[in-house]
Chains A and B, each alone.
Chain A
Amino acid sequence: MSPYNLLPRFKAQYDANNQEFSIAGVVRPQAIDELGPSLALLRDAIGRVRGVLYVNVRRLTQMNNAAFHAFSRIMIDACRARPDLKFVVITSSVVGWTSRKFGRLSGIEPNITVKQYDSEFYPGQGFLEEGGFVPILRTQTKMTWRHERTILPRHGMRPGIVMADICCGIGDFVVLVQKEFQPSRIVALDHSISSLDYARRVMREFDIRGIEYTYGDASEMLLDEAQFDLVTCRHSLQIFNRPELILKELYRICKPGGRVYITNEKNSHCLGEPRAESIRWTYNEVAKLFAHFEMDVELGPKSRRYLIEAGFEDIRVETFMVTNLDGDPQDFADVIVAWADVYAGDMATRRGDGPEFIARFRQGFQDHIFAALHPKGYAGWPIWVASGRRPQ
């Protein structure tokens, strides 16, 4: 059976609490009659609201002109009949045509405005994707790869598979995967244009083939369902305020029988000797700081629960510790320097932390670096790896 027939092509709904009418999926009717219930729902919503009606088309993958005209017509008529009513159409930059097409409506009726949604979904991620963080991301991947290259085959990685790396960042992980495991196809998705530009530049410079970098929102991907043998999502669920939405999408694009592989941290378990107490205090504070920005860097041990609740089976969980003994201790120290700059810098400042707190906070990072570089020292950064199989 064609995958087209497996799911309803589109869904319209109205959320009275948020005064939001949303339509999602592929809307390509031959005749407007096919849209009857959805159009009636929109008319009904207009009749109920006061002030602003939000029209959410973020997950609208396709809409033909016939349908666009039918929905637009209702909004335009409503503007003319009720000058008190405003429409805010919420599009997604991921779906390239929606902002252009719906954007025309504001030229017709000033009471219709179009807003591109995206950044709101990633409340704190901006801290981590500025250009200056790229070298440190590369170093982090280099350190975790030493462990993951032996761990991945236990979680479904093997040559010839079709895989996706969601929230791929600068793409260094998929480059390493391609060299080591030769999947037949890799799709790597991220919502950061600057990270993808960097990844594509690396791909060109090193003549790497077989990786398709794509811009997208992990919570509403354009990727078709059930097409990947393995879906990886590393260090990312922990920086989304709604990880269950991402997992739902990872599940959707994974083939039945395929696996979803996630890695996350429990930052408060970062450790070091000597100066263990200061290090422990600072990383406990790191967890609280991220929580302030709606990110859960304590998520690692919760991975099993998240995977079970998302519907996966055959859950496998393991941990590894990146340490100063993995390769060059200076690499470990460099990573901590970068963390300190962001966490005790921009993030702490934006939370409104005072100089006394920041000084103590920063000291813990310095002590972690001290432990990493000490000839008899030990410094660790624990990572939780988990994967689950999508049921057949």
Chain B
Amino acid sequence: MGSVHHEPAGEPTFEPMIQIDMEIKTFVSAWKHCDYVSTYMARMISQNRTDSVRHSNLFSSAFNELLEVAFRTRHADGELACRVSRHGATDRIELTIPCVPEERQFYQEAVSQVAGFEARERYLNSVSGDLAPSREVVLLELAVDYNATLRVEEAASDAIKLVVDLPLEGLQH
């Protein structure tokens, strides 16, 4: 894999838990791969959470959305890398997605908008709007419904790495 994992200065150390790599061609050959991968990884990483079953359900729900975003990449080659690591109550998903330059720009813009204070309002507008949810809306929903924080990190030239922190332990009940 071409990307290098690093923690920005002052960040806590996230302990790696599981990683799955797939050729993007293989991944996009069947939609159900999103469901399979999200469900499998959710089960694997939730075993030692306070409530493993509920955690697994929540994690799968959020992670599947990210994988469905990745599924729509327009880049025909390369590797999809899904890595999950943990620090305390937060699980971090690092999703390295092959993408074309326009998609790279899209992700950077979408993630910067997710961080905006009006994220919730924009999400509600999208739900009440006529259009099917865009990839940007999916990222917004992660922030609004799962309290996720998102950022984009450098990856190889034809890939983007989405880093999504999910504090799901705090969402229980």
Contacts and interface: CB of A to CB of B under 8 A. Distances in A.
Interface in A9-30: 26, 28, 30
B51 A97 contact: no
A164 to B, nearest CB: 10
Interface in B31-49: 31-32, 34-36, 47
Contact of B65 (A64, A100, A104, A221): A64
B145 A101 contact: yes
Contacts, number: 97
A200 interface: yes
B127 A215 contact: no
Interface residues of B, number: 36
Interface string B49-89: 01111101110111011001000000000000000000000
B132 interface: yes
Interface in A73-97: 73, 76, 93-97
Contact of B172 (A96, A105, A107): A96
A28 B54 contact: no
A216 B58 contact: no
Nearest to A193: B173
Nearest to A29: B31
Interface residues of A, number: 42
B123 interface: yes
Contacts of B31: 30
B7 interface: no
Interface in A52-77: 61-62, 64-66, 68-70, 72-73, 76
Nearest to A214: B53
A69 B133 contact: yes
A100 B52 contact: no
A66 B138 CA distance: 9
Given A26-B35, A101-B145, A94 B54 contact: yes
Interface of B: 31-32, 34-36, 47, 50-54, 56-58, 60-62, 64-65, 68, 123-124, 127-128, 130, 132-133, 137-138, 141, 144-146, 171-173
Given A4-B36, A193-B173, 17 more contacts: A2-B36, A28-B64, A61-B57, A65-B137, A65-B141, A96-B57, A97-B57, A97-B62, A97-B146, A104-B127, A107-B124, A189-B53, A212-B53, A213-B50, A215-B54, A216-B53, A221-B53
